[in-house]
Structure 1
Amino acid sequence: MKNEKTLWTITRNFGDSRLMPELKTLLFCGNGFLGVQANAPGSSQTSGTFINGFYETTPITYGEKAYGYPGMQQVMIPLVDVLNWEVSKATASGYEALDISKGTIELDMQKGIRKTSCQIVGSDGSDLLIQEEVLTSLVHSQCLYSRITLKGRGKYRITRRIGPPNLESKESGDPRKMESLQKDLFRKSDYTVTSRGCMIEETTTSSNLSYRCTVCLDRFSRYEGIESNQYETLYQDIDLDESSESSRLLMARFEADPPSGLPSEKVRDEQKNFPMDWQKICSEQENYLKDFWKKADTIIEGKPEYTRALRYNSYGLLQSTGTDPARSGAAKGLSSGGYNGHTFWDADIYIQGALNNIDPRRARTLVEYRIAHLKEARDRAEELSEVGALYPWRTINGRECSAFFPAGTAQFHINADIIWGLKSFLDHSGERDILLKGGAEMLFETARFWAAFALDVPGKGYCLHCVTGPDEYTALVNNNFYTNLMAREHLSFAHATALELLDEFPEWTAKLIKQLNLSIREINSWRHIAHHFYLPKVEDSLIYKQDDSFLEKSPWDWEHTPLEKRPLLLHYHPLKIYRHRVMKQPDVIMGLLLQKQYFDKEVFASNFDYYEPLTSGDSSLSSAIQSAVAALGDRQEQAEDYFRKNLFLDLEDKEGNTDNGIHLAAMGGARIALLYGFAHMEISAGVLHLNPDFPRNWGRISFSLLHKGVLLKVHYDPSDQSVQLTADAPLNIEINETQIRLSKNEKQTVRIFQEIS
């Protein structure tokens, strides 16, 4: 394999004191609570700084508004920028700023640090090496660090400008970008200078949310008052005539909804106790990541570039999801305000599906976030004259803010997606206590929605009308296959769970049933509806229809569609697209993958072959699912092609929009394709099943996963079709239909034989 260190780092060059826009997001640093974009030193660009779930609200303007349309937009907003700095050299006439126009930026995924390095050659031939290290602590989630090291000779000054975010976003016809922001985001802004730095407290104008940023320097020379467009300017002096190398540290602690009116002496006391020991901070960060990579790492010996990319994608998940149930995983993570920082079904399927077997605590948080917003889901169902609970298509605070209902609210499958996330979390973690802490209530209330929404049609069974499935190029249809299938499984799971809870916790469950005004008859009706749900299918075929009318539509004329007219959503009216047999992303095969226990290789292959040429790939959610289903259908070449496209979506800016933020769903999708697709992972009756079938040119492959608290390590060798297994606790597992009992730390090797096609 390549040099091992290079497989843990992402390195890019910059010039002209500016980063390419996509590098600002690609190399962001985050910890699930706090995220900060990359930046070049001395740049006029600001580093977008975001707190997960911190947003402002603005009215949604409609030309024609109807009942039930959301009234307010939610936008995750950038906060104070603490990473703007420059270095000046002392001269006879004062300090002169150095021209730091070129350098490299390296993201180290083992150490959890982003390093910016520049080398300046003086007129006298002397060298000065400048390095900034940025760390968002995974141990102290509120803390962001910037350590600047100078190596050379002379006297220098580090100027740190603490300033407001850049709000110069422009109106765009691209719904994936961050909304244009008003200038007066904050109705209240207070700045306080302290003996070790400064403190900024701000409260939003409309959403009335507050945050506090306390900046602390290890060595503080002096400060200047508020400059134009700045809050504070802080100086740190370094004399390299005494020592050839010296460093200065800045720590910024961000708090969401802090207690108001903090006395200045309290601020001083708190600053004294801030974690400022750089070596200890780095050690804590590295140890945290060492534990994370034990569970998350995948090594593909024949494709080292895949190994690095898989690490980057897993690292992105870690950086963008936290352990606070008040905060979920936004579509762009914490790399930008793209999609306004909203949470979609991505969190419950793609992100949840990946985190379940990497980091159960973060996976659980995604479920807890949904539970915490059950009230808003009930309110939304009532607003739409429906029963039970209906979750929003896109949101931050639990309320619907999708202004385009055909591709928003009509995606009722969000309810079933959330419950798929709950069930998959339970299957992988075994943490059934979450059912007693709101999970069962959420499950039952969302099941009620389907039971009332479904219509029993003679000759067909239970149908769902006027819905939109995952494919947003097809809207408001009858019997979308994905939605019907997922609703069916939702109801079946709700019925089974209710009976299990009545048996395990009879008093508690009886109390909940009474509280919800449920009855055993209603619970049993869920099973009846599930057993009689209609799934549209082509007669005498293995092909499932995407919906009742999709296959009757005219195919899209790709021959006369130039590349500059892609993606279609930016160049054609929705009605033009809706009238054609064209897909933004997988729909039928997505359902097949998520409910793979019901389908065999022939079904996967037939539906992949049919729908693949109809899928535009205009969505970043496409390629991971296509890869997984192609692998399940024994379409190995196509499976790898789509796997690679998904894997390098951001690293190679495949869609030309990484500047809007990284694609967190695709990052989760990389692991889904690897495990659910190539490794044929499935959980049945509580037992983990694997049947690895990776491409031969990948060489030996090693990966780990957590199952019910047990860490399983898998080593696959294609040369003799063997799988070596090790678990850190006793575990029952099935490999290619061979049942195995692993003892603690015991190594077992199993030979597998794939069917030759």
Structure 2
Amino acid sequence: MKRIFDITPWHVVTTEFKPENKRLQESMTSLGNGYMGMRGFFEEDYSGDSLPGIYLGGVWYPDKTRVGWWKNGYPEYFGKVINAVNFIKINVQLNGKSLDLAKTRFTDFKLDLDMQRGVLTRSFVVTEDDLRVAVTFERFLSAAQKELSVQKVTFKNLADAPVKIALASALDANVKNEDANYDEKFWEVHQVSADSLIAETMPNNFGTPRFTSGMQVSYVTDLTAGTVDQQAAATTAHFERDLAAGATATFEKRVVVVTSRDYDGDAALITAMARLTNQTASQSYADLLAAHTQVWADRWRQSDIRIEGDTAAQQGMRFNLFELFSTYYGDDPRLNIGPKGFTGEKYGGATYWDTEAFAVPVYLGITKPEVTRNLLMYRYKQLDGAYVNAQQQGLKGALFPMVTFNGIECHNEWEITFEEIHRNGDIAFAIYNYTRYTGDKSYVLHEGSKVLTEISRFWADRVHFSKRNGQYMIHGVTGPDEYENNVDNNFNTNYLARWSLAYTLEVLKEVSPEQAQQLGVSDAEKAHWQDIIGRMYLPYDKDLDIFVQHDGYLDKDLEPVAAIPADQLPINQHWSWDHILRSPYIKQGDVLQIMYDFIDRFTPEQLKHNFDFYEPMTVHESSLSAAIHAVLAADLKYEDKAVEFYNRTARLDLDNYNNDTDDGLHITSMTGGWIAMVQGFAGMRVKDDTLSYKPFLPKQWTKYSFRQVFRGRVIEVTVDAQGTHLELIDGAPLDVVVNGQTQTLARTK
């Protein structure tokens, strides 16, 4: 495959500008600070192909449902993230000619995402006519002040004659989504002034909340300010300067962005914008940058993973962590992690089961427990919506949504929306995972017990008792493998349902009498749950000694992926949906996902037989697939296979493995590098309150090390040719197990 960025440890950088790669470059140079984010599109107008996008956390719109055959129980709308007002827009003219890199001649192009500092820089030299002007754009979204966007443009005249520079800096609400089925725009401007703009999302027919966004701009520059144009949906400030030969000019644009999620009404927005703007008025660009980069330095100090001997693997890991942190760092419990984060429109920007299954393990290991607790609280606070989702299907309890912003299901594909119910079990597993890892029972015995109880009530109503077989079954579902729709007895779903009921019963034994009374689980209800646990059907084939993905799977033509002609891969871009559904090919781990989740509950023989059967049938066309396969391969000592899957997950977007990165990054799968490294290569497990490791060093590497947060400690793990070395960086002494041997860690400083 051809890489469009250089391989460097801390940078995503290229010195080539190729228009055919423009969208890929935009995706891969996305910025975010958890509160807002943007693709790496140009500040100035670009007449070539591009996907501009700025997104605000928690701001969304109920797009029209595309399903024309709506039936009772279907979601009313497809919720989606919307492109925010363009507040980074800066158009440039040099000697009266507009700068447009689709048309303007230039040399010395460089695009550089500095992951260590969280700064995006673009530079080039304009060579139109007699011009030789070096132009540098730099921008960051402050990690120190979440509402602040900072840009700096530098011009240096390299020619012998002066050049006239003219800038038009705008707050522009004339934006739209590319992936939308509305003809009108999403924003209705309330107020516009010389330095601010307030816009509200358009009215909709679904009774969902409307969001208001306010933006105030300020400038620091040695250019001369000119007129300000105020239009119905934009405000544009003009600046100019005659730049002498050899001279340099700078232009700083600072924008404060606030929304109605925090401030109620236009007056409150205006007051907040003024206050936040004043806070930075006396600070220089260097001051603002230093505060921002200090936050990133603190994050990296706790979470950086260092790899020696393989720079591509190192870059991939840091890219994963950088974009993950840019999307979510736990500062706002109202927010969650969308599969594309702030990098594109696909998947609607909403929350999926990816958070519980893939993000929770990573945040547990690299941040304070409160970050993960906020993710669990996010679901608890949306219980009311989960009740509605279940009731729409005529079922008891709570069905947490497959896709949501507010707890109400807002995906419009039936096989995803109300068949892929395994996500209820994934949410229960996340509660268990948090409790097991942190040792903190305060959530599971209070809010968590409520979530578990309502999930269990759903499972108890959703199962079907087969009189013919004398077992409980679950019909008409889709497992994590979305290439198998409307199947009966998906192993993953049945296993999670059984486990969720059993775990809930364990938790109910520990809750306080007051909490038990509030939950109101009767003895008859508990007995019914126990009966389901004891008689749940789990498909199994004795001859192959494997758990069967679902009833009928083994009746398919079981040819491995290796039998598919290379020019037909990926199959989701070459085959009809009908062809895919009839095939045996697996999008991502399904049975193997369960074996990853509950790896200590399966024997080595079970892991081997199932991995050897299912992995050759898996096309890995979900971005989530490679990480769990890396862990299982490592556990089975298939080290080359584990490294292959690590590279696939860590460099999924950088190398555009699935040919689908141009519309945005796969943010939730960026947990995969950490999962593959820490749980796979290092063999990290937590069992019976004990932390253990079984590391190996890939042949291509000379050394790797990472820091891990665990129960108030920070532990540094280093693996090299001499073995495994553990150091307690912070916290009380701790017993850990390495390759079966217990050792006590204590601080030496």
Task: Give the TM-score of the pair, scaled to structure 1.
Answer: 0.88
CA gap of 1:218–1:469, structure 2 versus 1, over 3 A, is: same
Cα deviation for residue 121 of structure 1 reads 5.1
Cα deviation for residue 709 of structure 1 reads 2.7
Match of 2:365 among 350, 357, 362: 357
2:630/2:680 contact within 8 Å kept: yes
CA gap of 1:580–1:653, structure 2 versus 1, over 3 A, is: closer
Q: Which residue of 1 aligns with 2:79?
A: 74
Match of 1:9 among 5, 8, 11: 11
Cα deviation for residue 241 of structure 1 reads 5.0
**Equivalent residues in 2 for 1:110-129 (5 A)?**
110-120=116-126, 128-129=133-134
Q: Which residue of 2 aligns with 1:231?
A: 234
**1:326 equivalent in alignment to 2:324:** no
Q: Does 212-221 or 152-161 show the bigger shift?
A: 152-161
- 2:552 maps to amino acid: S
Please give the alpha-carbon distance, in whole angstroms, between the structure 2 residues aligned to 1:439 and 1:127: 63
CA gap of 1:740–1:492, structure 2 versus 1, over 3 A, is: farther
Cα deviation for residue 26 of structure 1 reads 1.1
Please give the alpha-carbon distance, in whole angstroms, between the structure 2 residues aligned to 1:531 and 1:147: 65
CA gap of 1:477–1:149, structure 2 versus 1, over 3 A, is: same
**Equivalent residues in 2 for 1:737-752 (5 A)?**
737-745=740-748
**Equivalent residues in 2 for 1:626-641 (5 A)?**
626-641=629-644
Can you give the 5+ residue segments of structure 2 that lack an aligned partner in the other structure?
A: 1-5
2:305/2:705 contact within 8 Å kept: yes
Secondary structure of 2:394 counterpart: coil
Cα deviation for residue 527 of structure 1 reads 4.8
Please give the alpha-carbon distance, in whole angstroms, between the structure 1 residues aligned to 2:586 and 2:82: 32
- 1:192 maps to amino acid: V
Please give the alpha-carbon distance, in whole angstroms, between the structure 2 residues aligned to 1:437 and 1:250: 47
Match of 1:553 among 545, 549, 556: 556
Cα deviation for residue 57 of structure 1 reads 1.0
**Equivalent residues in 2 for 1:346-495 (5 A)?**
346-360=354-368, 361-435=370-444, 438-457=447-466, 461-495=471-505
Q: Which residue of 1 aligns with 2:225?
A: 221
**Equivalent residues in 2 for 1:76-115 (5 A)?**
76-89=81-94, 99=104, 101=106, 103-115=109-121
Secondary structure of 2:477 counterpart: coil
Please give the alpha-carbon distance, in whole angstroms, between the structure 2 residues aligned to 1:290 and 1:658: 28
1:129/1:152 contact within 8 Å kept: yes
Cα deviation for residue 52 of structure 1 reads 2.0
Cα deviation for residue 715 of structure 1 reads 0.5
CA gap of 1:560–1:592, structure 2 versus 1, over 3 A, is: closer
- 1:658 maps to amino acid: T
Moved over 6 A (4+): 16-19, 557-560
1:42/1:100 contact within 8 Å kept: no
| CA RMSD in angstroms, aligned pairs only | 2.9
Please give the alpha-carbon distance, in whole angstroms, between the structure 1 residues aligned to 2:742 and 2:174: 57
Cα deviation for residue 462 of structure 1 reads 3.4
CA gap of 1:265–1:346, structure 2 versus 1, over 3 A, is: closer
Please give the alpha-carbon distance, in whole angstroms, between the structure 2 residues aligned to 1:235 and 1:68: 53
Q: Does 215-224 or 652-661 show the bigger shift?
A: 215-224
Q: Does 56-65 or 567-576 show the bigger shift?
A: 567-576
Secondary structure of 1:291 counterpart: helix
Q: Number of matched residues? A: 719
Secondary structure of 2:137 counterpart: strand
**Equivalent residues in 2 for 1:231-380 (5 A)?**
231-237=234-240, 241=244, 244-257=247-260, 258-262=263-267, 266=271, 268=274, 271-274=277-280, 276-322=283-329, 323-360=331-368, 361-380=370-389
1:727/1:742 contact within 8 Å kept: no
1:605/1:635 contact within 8 Å kept: no
- 1:446 maps to amino acid: I
Cα deviation for residue 309 of structure 1 reads 0.9
- 1:280 maps to amino acid: D
CA offsets 1:116-148 (integer angstroms, 9 cap, x no match):
112235866x85332221111122112211111
CA gap of 1:162–1:13, structure 2 versus 1, over 3 A, is: farther
Q: Does 45-54 or 652-661 show the bigger shift?
A: 45-54
Match of 2:673 among 655, 670, 675: 670
Please give the alpha-carbon distance, in whole angstroms, between the structure 2 residues aligned to 1:41 and 1:385: 50
Q: Which residue of 2 aligns with 1:192?
A: 192
Q: Which residue of 1 aligns with 2:3?
A: none
CA gap of 1:239–1:686, structure 2 versus 1, over 3 A, is: farther
Q: Does 153-162 or 619-628 show the bigger shift?
A: 153-162
CA gap of 1:191–1:129, structure 2 versus 1, over 3 A, is: farther
Please give the alpha-carbon distance, in whole angstroms, between the structure 1 residues aligned to 2:563 and 2:445: 56
**Equivalent residues in 2 for 1:669-688 (5 A)?**
669-688=672-691
CA gap of 1:558–1:495, structure 2 versus 1, over 3 A, is: closer
Cα deviation for residue 100 of structure 1 reads 6.8
Please give the alpha-carbon distance, in whole angstroms, between the structure 1 residues aligned to 2:201 and 2:535: 53
Cα deviation for residue 27 of structure 1 reads 0.6
- 1:354 maps to amino acid: V
Secondary structure of 1:435 counterpart: coil
Secondary structure of 1:466 counterpart: coil
Cα deviation for residue 50 of structure 1 reads 0.2
- 2:427 maps to amino acid: I
1:86/1:160 contact within 8 Å kept: yes
1:80/1:164 contact within 8 Å kept: yes
CA gap of 1:573–1:117, structure 2 versus 1, over 3 A, is: closer
Q: Does 520-529 or 633-642 show the bigger shift?
A: 520-529
**1:141 equivalent in alignment to 2:177:** no
- 2:719 maps to amino acid: Y
**Equivalent residues in 2 for 1:169-208 (5 A)?**
169=178, 178-186=179-187, 188-194=188-194, 197-206=195-204, 207=208, 208=210
Q: Which residue of 1 aligns with 2:508?
A: 498
1:18/1:43 contact within 8 Å kept: no
Q: Percent identity of the aligned residues? A: 24
Cα deviation for residue 25 of structure 1 reads 1.3
**Equivalent residues in 2 for 1:580-659 (5 A)?**
580-659=583-662
Cα deviation for residue 580 of structure 1 reads 3.2
Cα deviation for residue 20 of structure 1 reads 0.9
Cα deviation for residue 678 of structure 1 reads 1.8
1:47/1:84 contact within 8 Å kept: no
CA offsets 1:290-314 (integer angstroms, 9 cap, x no match):
2211222111212122111100001
Can you give the 5+ residue segments of structure 1 that lack an aligned partner in the other structure?
A: 170-177, 747-757
Task: Give the TM-score of the pair, scaled to structure 2.
Answer: 0.89
Cα deviation for residue 566 of structure 1 reads 4.1
Q: Which residue of 2 aligns with 1:173?
A: none
Please give the alpha-carbon distance, in whole angstroms, between the structure 2 residues aligned to 1:19 and 1:491: 49
Please give the alpha-carbon distance, in whole angstroms, between the structure 1 residues aligned to 2:335 and 2:174: 22
1:26/1:650 contact within 8 Å kept: yes
- 1:65 maps to amino acid: W
**Equivalent residues in 2 for 1:46-61 (5 A)?**
47-61=52-66
Q: Does 55-64 or 293-302 show the bigger shift?
A: 55-64
